[in-house]
Amino acid sequence: MTDARENSRLGHLFRPSPFSRDRAYWLDGHVLRWRSGVESGWLSLSEVTLVQVTLPPAGHGTARCTLRTAECCVHRFSDDYWFGWNRVERHRWGTREHRRATFLGLVAALARRVRKANPAAALTYGPDKGRPFEPEELDQTQGFPARREPVPPERGEDGNPGAA
């Protein structure tokens, strides 16, 4: 069953291969929720110890994000969407599109919220061990200018009151 928040600004839907189920990740406050086919679950952002982002130049590969928890649970998602064999997508079966905008929107907000929920969490950028990064770097890859004034903690990424 699809949750309406999967299609929100902080949601991302992907399918890693044409033969796999579609998967969705979305942020709900300080909880990352996920769905893979009919299975679903959630992960508290305070449990995340590593956020690793690999972001090749647009059109030159797949962007990936890996999350690790203290219990060694791993969540991986990418910007790939392979069209499947259901009746809606059958005419495009086997073709791939990159959903970089929703991927970057989720990952940038995720990195900010993980940093807030668990200051000891490592944020790395690049393959292998990568280099440390700040969440604002992802805003610049989306084409957003760097913010001049910090957002008060009681406000969200969009500046409006609500769940940060």
Q: Which domain holds residue 72?
A: 11-142
Of 53 and 86, more confident: 53
- Gap between the Cα atoms of 151 and 148, Å rounded: 9
- Give the span between the Cα atoms of 104 and 141, in whole angstroms: 8
- Does 152 map to a domain? no
Residue 44, domain member (yes or no): yes
pLDDT score at 151: 53
Question: Is it the case that residue 133 has pLDDT exceeding 90?
Answer: no
Looking at the structure of the chain, the number of domains it has is 1
> For the domain that residue 123 is a member of, what is the CATH number?
2.30.29.30
The structure tokens listed for 148 are 């001049």
Instruction: Give me the long-range contacts of 130-139 (CB less than 8 A, separation at least 24).
Output: 130/52, 130/53, 130/54, 133/53, 135/108, 135/111, 138/53, 138/55, 138/104, 138/107, 138/108, 138/111, 139/108
Residue 107 lies in a domain: yes
Per-residue pLDDT, 145: 45
84 in any annotated domain? yes
pLDDT at 40 over 70: yes
Residue 3 belongs to a domain: no
For the chain, give the number of residues: 164
Taking the C-alpha atoms of residue 160 and residue 1, their distance in angstroms, rounded to an integer, is: 29
Task: Provide the pLDDT for residue 45.
Answer: 93
pLDDT score, position 8: 64
- Tell me the pLDDT tens digit for each residue of 12-25: 888 887 788 888 99
Across 97-119, average pLDDT: 89
Q: Is 89 inside a domain boundary?
A: yes
Bin 54: left if φ > 0, else alpha if -120 < ψ < 50, else beta. Answer: beta
Return mean pLDDT, the chain. Answer: 78
